[in-house]
Amino acid sequence: MNIMKHIIGATLATVIAAGAAHAQSVAYSPGIKYDRASWNAFVAAVKPAGAPHPPGTLTFETWATDADTFDQLQPVLGDDAATPHERRFQASFLALAHLPANLAARLEVEGVPAPCGAPGNPASGNFPTPYIKSPPANCVAEEVRRNRASFLHIVRNGLNSIAGLQKAFAGPDITFPQDAVELKADWVPVPTLIAWLSDNGVNVSPRFVAQNYFITQQDGTAYALTSMRISTKGLPDWLWATFEHRLNPGRCDTMGCYDDYGVLPPLTRIPPGTPNKQYAACVKSPQLAAMFKSAGIADVWDNYCLKATQIDFVSTQPATRGQPVLDGDRRGCAGDR
């Protein structure tokens, strides 16, 4: 399962783990139609789920969690599209290097739900330290979800077991259905977020955070969504899209930000600037604003920006063709293609 969990979803990371740019790597928007596809996937994930779900439920909140997917005791979960799925945070993959080896192995292999964990290399983003286990503080929690098509393909083909993976490895290529979608979201406790922003020169109040971030409650702690990664098979090749909150320190560091569809010019391509500082807000383009309105998207989602769309591991642009593409999460990500 360790291998499969890396293959079937690219690990989402927040801007906390800043990386150095690689001279041989390139970054760019693959084009307006691909950036539009990224926003279509975003809207489909965060739009209201509707009946029979409780009012206020978003579509991605009804998808199967990582624990659902890899729990051998729940092989039929997800057959009912209306089945609500519990929000269960894992330790962020950024935190695994800071955990005891035996616990890290359990989290990686078994998908054991875990509390918010210490991020890797926190000082690079002025992230508050030290990590506090209880109550959760100065930590990152990761949520993993898959829509019904992705979940059922994994379960029905036994890809959530070692035996199933061995069989698949010996057989033809694994091909997910075109409507498969996978999502990873990174959450930070609200007090930690406020301290983090303050350490980077942005002073906000709890009320501001409540109004400008998507918030969830987990075990009595309020968490703010800082970033989201969506992978969709609908092209039919895989498309990866990374979204970050507009106030994330260093949002466009290392590689810049690229969006030829969702923001107003001249902000469609933002070059990297001073590390860990702020970038201009991604004011939505008229076409994206209309898409949000049509889908009934809440105003809070105006605060989230497309950092980059990725459709291949190497550049498709004439001037840089064949060079490795710098990933939108600023760290190496494995995906399923």
What is the tens place of the pLDDT at every residue in 286-295?
999 999 999 9
Number of Cβ atoms within 10 Å of the Cβ of 80 = 9
At 79, list the tokens.
């057959």
The identity of residue 6, as a single letter, is H
**Does residue 328 form part of some domain?**
no
pTM, two decimal places: 0.83
In a domain, 331, yes or no: no
Task: Answer yes or no: is 335 within a domain.
Answer: no
Rounded distance, CA 292 to CA 287, Å?
9
Residue 183, pLDDT above cutoff 90: yes
Question: So what's the pLDDT on residue 158?
Answer: 86
Band (207; pLDDT cuts 50, 70, 90): very high
Average pLDDT of the residues of the chain = 80
**What is the per-residue pLDDT across 27-61, written as a single tens digit (0 to 9) for each?**
889 999 999 999 999 999 999 998 888 888 899 99
Q: Cα separation of 152 and 147, whole Å? A: 9
Whether residue 239 is contained in a domain is answered as yes
What pLDDT, on the 0 to 100 scale, is given for residue 125?
77
Closest CA to 15 of 107, 95, 119: 119
Query: Is there a domain that residue 329 lies in?
Result: no
Write phi, then psi, for 196 (nearest 5 degrees).
-65, -50
Structural domain includes residue 132: yes
| Alpha-carbon gap, residue 145 to 127, rounded angstroms | 26
Mean pLDDT of 276-304: 95
Confidence of residue 113 (pLDDT cuts 50, 70, 90): low
Confidence label for 227 from pLDDT (cuts 50, 70 and 90): very high
The yes-or-no verdict on residue 92 having pLDDT over 70 is no
* Domain span including residue 155: 2-320
Q: 60, exposed or middle or buried, with CB in 10 Å at 0-12, 13-18, 19+?
A: buried
- Whole-number pLDDT of residue 39: 98
Q: What is the DSSP letter of 316?
A: -
Q: How confident is the model at residue 330 (pLDDT cuts 50, 70, 90)?
A: very low
Give the per-residue pLDDT at 81. 47
Residue 329: pLDDT band (50, 70, 90) is low
Tokens matching residue 16: 């906390």
Q: Exposed, middle or buried by CB within 10 Å (0-12, 13-18, 19+), for 12?
A: buried
Whether pLDDT at 108 is above 60: no
- Between CA 46 and CA 151 the distance in angstroms is 18
> Does 336 map to a domain?
no
Cα angle at 297 between 294 and 301, to 5 degrees?
A: 135
C-alpha of 148 from chain center: 18
Q: What is the pairing mode between strands 181-189 and 90-91?
A: unpaired
Select the highest-mean-pLDDT range: 35-44, 136-145, 150-159, 214-223.
35-44
Q: DSSP letter for 21, please.
A: P
Residue 198 lies in a domain: yes
Is residue 85 pLDDT above 90, yes or no? no
What is the per-residue pLDDT for 68?
Answer: 81
Which pLDDT belongs to residue 51? 86
Which of the four pLDDT bands, split at 50, 70 and 90, describes residue 18? very low
Residue 219 tokens read as: 């075990």
Quote the number of domains for the chain. Answer: 1
